[in-house]
Every structure is written in C-alpha cells, then in structure tokens.
Amino acid sequence: MQLALPRSYFATFLNLFRSQDADKRKKLKNAVAHIIGENPSNLRLYQLALRHSSASRETVIVGFRESNERLEYLGDAVLGMVIAEFLFKKYPYKDEGFLTEIRSRIVNREMLNGISRKIGLDRLIEYDGARTKSLPARTSMYGDALEALVGAIYLDKGFRFTRRFILKNLLSHYDIDSLVQNNANFKSRLIEWAQREGKEVRFDIIAEKGNSHYREFIAQIVINEEPFATGSGYSKKKAEQSAAEKALELLDAK
Amino acid sequence: MQLALPRSYFATFLNLFRSQDADKRKKLKNAVAHIIGENPSNLRLYQLALRHSSASRETVIVGFRESNERLEYLGDAVLGMVIAEFLFKKYPYKDEGFLTEIRSRIVNREMLNGISRKIGLDRLIEYDGARTKSLPARTSMYGDALEALVGAIYLDKGFRFTRRFILKNLLSHYDIDSLVQNNANFKSRLIEWAQREGKEVRFDIIAEKGNSHYREFIAQIVINEEPFATGSGYSKKKAEQSAAEKALELLDAK
C-alpha cells in the first residue's frame, strides 16, 4: 500500500528542475552522438570536457575545482600520438624534424579552434561569459575543448575508437599537403608588426647544441633591445620562426 | 639435374658472412624477446630502433639516411600518452600543471638513460664509436634508443601490448612517489655552478600571459649579462626551474 501524500511545492519544483536537467542531458547526448558517431556511454565525461575553467565547479576536495583542463591534458597527449603515427606512416622518407614541425602545425591552437567550430563543439561549451569576456583564454577555448573531447572519448570508448575519430572526423578537415607547403612566415609577420608600431626588432641565435648529425638552435627575439621571446628548432631558420611565432602569441595576448 | 660447381672462395666467404648475420639476428631476437616478453614479429623494426644516428645507413632515397630517429619521434609520443593516462588516473584530484610536471620528470632524458641501461638496452645499440666519442649525443643515446624501442613495439605489437609494456616493464623501475616529492632544484644547481665558475647569473621573468584561471610565465636566465636560456611554467617558480634546467642542459652540451 502506498501513501498518497499531497505533493509539496518543493517537490513540484524539484521535478521540474529534474526534467529540465534530463532534457539538457538528452540534448547533450544527442549532440555528442552526432559528433562522435556513436552514443556516449559515460555522458559525465563529455559534460566535463565541455566545461571551461571559467565555469569550473567545486569538488569534495577542498581547493580542487573541476573543469575540462585535466581532460585537455589527456586529450592533447592522445591527439599528439595519433597524429605522430599518421605522419610517420604518411611520410616514410621524411626525418623526425619534418614530422615534428608538421605535427605542430596540425595541433596549432588556431587550427584546433577552427576544427572545433567546424564540428559544432563551440555551441556546446559551458563557460562564464562575464568572466571570459575579452580574455586571452577565450581565444583558445574552442581548441582546448576539442582536446578535452578527445580525452573524454578515449576514456569512454578506448584507443581504437578515438584513433579512428581523430583520423576520420578531425584530420579530414585538414589539407595536409597545403599545410606542408605553407610556410606560415611568422618572422615576416613580426617584422611587419614592428614597422607598423615603430619598434626595432632583432633576431639573435643565442645558443646551439648537437653534433654533426643533429643540431638544435635557440633563437631570441629582441624588441627595442629587450629580450622578448625565444624559440628552438633544428635549423637557424626554424628557431627564428618558432621564436617569432611565440612573440606574435605574446603580442596577441597583450 | 643439378650442376656440381666447385665452390668459389667468394661463395664460401658469403656463406660464412650469411651465417654470421643469421647468428646475429638470432641473438638480437632473443635479446628483444627477453626485454619485451614476447618474440618480435618484425625484427627489422627493432634493428632500426637500436641504430644510433652515428651508424645511420643509406636508403634508396638519395639524401635520406636511416637510423632510430624517426622511431624515437613515434615512441616519444606513445610514451608521453601512456604516461599521461597513467598519471591522470593515479592522481584524480591533481591539476594539469602537476600532471605535466610529473610526466616531464618521468620522461626526463637522464631518467630514460637509466631505465635503458637497467633493461639492458645499452648493450644492444649499434653506433659508431669514433663518431660519437665525447659528443653530447652520446649522453642521450640510451634514452633515445628506449623511446625508439617503444615506437618499434607499437608498430610491431600494437597499442595494448605497448601500453602494458610501458606500465609493467618501464614504470616499474620508477619510484613515482619520490619523484613527486623530489623537487629537482635546477635553480640552486645553476647558482652553485655560477659561483664555482665565477659567473654572475640572474633570473628574470620576461613575460606572462593568461587570465585569472590560468597563467603562464616565461623566465630567462642571464649569465654575465647575456641571455642564455628561457623556460616557461604555470608559476614564476616553475618557469625559473624550467629555464635553469635548460641552461644546465646547454652547459652540459658545451
């Protein structure tokens, strides 16, 4: 026998809240299924992957707030590995310097931001608009969420599934051949910036190491006689490019 | 009907050479089986993984010499990913900065050199002694070969096998808890070096970026008023440590 108690206002409200929540979860589940091509098994992982640090939540552990940053760390490693293997096999006669360079162009933040938008991840991210307004973090929010998504898929579906997802659903958005040819010339972009701003910019090679088989150079960007950024590479030109790229990032952030 | 030709000296020599070669392959096969716990399917991958760049060989592609460097690139990515996952699961309440830091301590070149020797990989490496003598490359030769071995195992045996190999056969040599506690203090080691050598060393924070949730600092080491190395980290202290670590590496290489 069941007791027929009058429903309290509180219970009504709670049910309404619950059904809204269930509705939201259902929507997210469908959206994730659409993106990854299979129903998620553990939806909580994807909820976390889409939670930007501005919307981080408290946990049972004092001082530890939860957002997608840990999953981003994991996804970054998974993505890096799958792309490493992809390039290793695609270019059997290219050296490791080339492979490293092309990989870094593929996982470049701008690129990841673009892919994230293309697969519709940007509309699913949970963030605090007031907190992220005009902050540099916002510019990488989409790419970060994409890496976190990869981490979530890996934990939810395992390696083979994630590898296939990366190769089929993410790399398909790239034109790898043009990425290889396109030498994003950061050095000339930096020089143009300096001319525009009336600053003096200098490129110094401050260190080199290695032997006859392998060399690494470290280049430093000096702006108005102040060291500003450094970068390394397996040739002087690469080192300068890397330093110029970092300098442009720092200037963007300011 | 077979022709019975007298064996030429050349053929005798060739047979001797071939049987020596077969003997060598058998020895390598056993040694690899002992290390990875299963017979290698494609021995050629392991031969390549153990070939240092000083002993690189010509290929059909003009200008492309083959050594373990490409496999090292692949193995580095596989190792990084497996350790990323291991730490992610071992420390569910630690942030990504902590996980990144501990991972970099685990895949630190010195550490990998040590593990490489522990599993007996150092005795299997093919290198040109005359070329590598007193070169900095030699100091990382063992760790590099270990990464290349991981790459070879991945291509030969797949992900699951490689993951288990890393967790059971490599990570077992680490004392992770003491790695976490042990703050390898590169900054004080660098200061000691400077005092010994009568040099003046300075640590500058030359840039910072980020927002209230995430910051990144870039520290620069200045030795006798000359910029020498930079490093980045999610706190000023981490950035200084990273820069000091790089400076010590550069000093080692000189």
H-assigned helices in chain B: 9-36, 43-49, 69-90, 96-106, 109-118, 129-132, 136-157, 159-165, 176-181, 186-197, 236-253
Residues B158 and B201 in one domain: no
Using DSSP's 3-state secondary structure scheme, residue A42 falls into coil
Whether residue A49 contacts residue A145, with contact meaning beta carbons closer than 8 Å, is answered with: yes
Distance CA A140, CA A72 (A): 12
Q: Do A213 and B137 touch (CB under 8 A)?
A: yes
State the Cα torsion B19-B22-B28-B34 to the nearest 10°.
Answer: -100
- Chain B residues close to A212, C-beta within 8 Å: 131
In a domain, A167, yes or no: yes
Residues A94 and A136 in one domain: yes
Domain that holds residue A163: 21-181
Residues A167 and A237 in one domain: no
The tokens of A58 are what? Answer: 């408290």
A147 classed as catalytic:
yes
pLDDT band (50, 70, 90) for residue B11: low
Tell me how many degrees the CA angle B80-B86-B91 measures, rounded to the nearest 5. Answer: 120
Catalytic residue among B21, B23, B76, B216: B76
Summarised one tens digit per residue, pLDDT across range B145-178 is: 999 999 999 999 999 999 999 999 999 999 898 8
Nearest CA in chain A to B78: A81
Whether residue A77 contacts residue A154, with contact meaning beta carbons closer than 8 Å, is answered with: no
Residues B160 and B214 in one domain: no
Q: What is the ipTM of this complex?
A: 0.71
Decide which of A153, A181, A209 is a domain's last residue.
A181
In a domain, A16, yes or no: no
In a domain, B13, yes or no: no
State the pLDDT at residue B98: 87
Residues B100 and B155 in one domain: yes
In a domain, A55, yes or no: yes
pLDDT band (50, 70, 90) for residue A30: very high
Q: Let me know how long chain B is.
A: 254
Residues A51 and A71 in one domain: yes
Residue B74 forms contact with A (CB below 8 Å): yes
In a domain, A2, yes or no: no
Q: Do B228 and A213 touch (CB under 8 A)?
A: no
Distance CA B145, CA B167 (A): 18
State the pLDDT at residue B13: 64
Decide which of B135, B151, B181 is a domain's last residue.
B181
Residues B190 and B177 in one domain: no
B110 classed as catalytic:
no
Summarised one tens digit per residue, pLDDT across range B54-83 is: 888 888 887 788 899 999 999 999 999 999
Chain A nearest CA to B16, separation (Å): 33
The proportion of chain B whose per-residue pLDDT surpasses 70, expressed as a percent, equals 86
Residues A213 and A171 in one domain: no
Q: Provide the number of structural domains found in chain A.
A: 2
Here the CATH number for the domain that contains residue B204 is 3.30.160.20
